[in-house]
């Protein structure tokens, strides 16, 4: 089966295929130590944060918590960590094909912050219950990450949380086509983060990251939030990319 057939999570709109866009060579980042992907170490990283930087290529699209962006709709998503026997998994969804925004794409459960929501955390937990059926008592919040301004003008605040034993998945078919889990070790492997440049008729285009796992092609805002979590965990473990060597002068 070809890679294009395998990446069935992608919906093509107006002839744009995110799977086939050109790959941009980029400097590889160091792998995280396995201990950094344990639940206790992740909790510690949020309880005792160290200075860190968001993804440099997209730093202008991130905002600190509570910062407003003119004209953007406030939204929140839950990045759910699932303890399994062989390590942590991350729960993701594939959005229904008929939705107006990001149809057919892989995403975290979440949505707009409604007037009745006290804040992003409550919105993310409420949306998770509405989309995939996980009740509030099974979500233990670990921390938040910087908000991302999406191309569709949503200011999305990611909430990292642990799913406690006993949760049940009951997806809303009107919003969610599929619910699945990916090993955290896969998503936090920077060797799997592929940078693409979107080709545009004008000759200029945006860049975006993608991550492949089995039949799924994870890209766009979801891949960017995953990439940012890598930077956060790398900083907490003092894992820094090798600095490029200065060019020799003649």
Which tens digits make up the pLDDT trace of 143-201? Answer: 999 999 988 889 999 999 999 999 999 999 888 989 999 999 999 999 999 999 987 65
Residue 97, pLDDT above cutoff 60: no
Q: By C-alpha distance, which of 250, 242, 237 is closest to 33? A: 237
Q: So what's the pLDDT on residue 173?
A: 87
Residue 11, pLDDT above cutoff 60: no
Q: So what's the pLDDT on residue 114?
A: 96
1-10, 106-115, 125-134, range with the lowest pLDDT: 1-10
Task: Indicate the pLDDT class of residue 68, thresholds 50, 70 and 90.
Answer: low
CATH of domain 3-236: 3.90.79.10
**Can you read off the two tokens belonging to residue 237?**
């473990």
**pLDDT averaged over the chain?**
86
Q: So what's the pLDDT on residue 174?
A: 85
Q: So what's the pLDDT on residue 198?
A: 87
- Alpha carbon 136 to chain centroid, angstroms: 21
Residue 240, pLDDT above cutoff 70: no
Note the pLDDT tens digit of each residue in 199-231: 765 445 689 999 999 999 999 999 999 999 999
Query: Which string of DSSP letters, residue by residue, matches 201-212?
Result: TTS---EEEEEE
Which distant-in-sequence residues (6+ apart) come within 8 Å of 77 by Cβ? 107, 108, 109, 110, 111, 124, 127, 156, 157, 158, 159, 225
């Amino acid at each position: 089966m070809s890679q294009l057939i395998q990446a069935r999570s992608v919906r093509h709109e107006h002839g744009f295929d995110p799977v086939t866009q050109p790959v941009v060579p980029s400097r590889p980042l160091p792998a995280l130590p396995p201990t950094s992907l344990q639940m206790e170490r992740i909790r510690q990283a949020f309880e005792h944060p160290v200075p860190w930087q968001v993804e440099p290529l997209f730093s202008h699209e991130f905002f600190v918590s509570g910062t407003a962006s003119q004209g953007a709709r406030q939204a929140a998503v839950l990045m759910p960590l699932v303890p399994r026997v062989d390590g942590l998994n991350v729960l993701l969804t594939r959005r229904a094909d008929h939705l107006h925004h990001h149809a057919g794409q892989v995403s975290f459960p979440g949505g707009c912050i409604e007037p009745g929501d006290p804040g992003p955390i409550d919105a993310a937990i409420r949306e998770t219950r509405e989309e995939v059926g996980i009740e509030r008592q099974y979500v233990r919040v670990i921390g938040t990450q910087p908000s991302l301004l999406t191309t569709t003008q949503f200011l999305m605040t990611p909430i990292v949380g642990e799913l406690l034993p006993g949760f049940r998945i009951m997806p809303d078919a009107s919003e969610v086509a599929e619910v699945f889990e990916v090993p955290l070790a896969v998503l936090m492997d920077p060797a799997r983060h592929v940078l693409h440049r979107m080709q545009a008729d004008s000759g200029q285009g945006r860049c975006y990251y993608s991550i492949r796992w089995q039949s799924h092609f994870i890209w766009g805002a979801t891949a960017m939030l995953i990439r940012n979590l890598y930077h956060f965990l790398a900083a907490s473990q003092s894992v820094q990319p090798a600095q490029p060597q200065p060019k020799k002068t003649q």
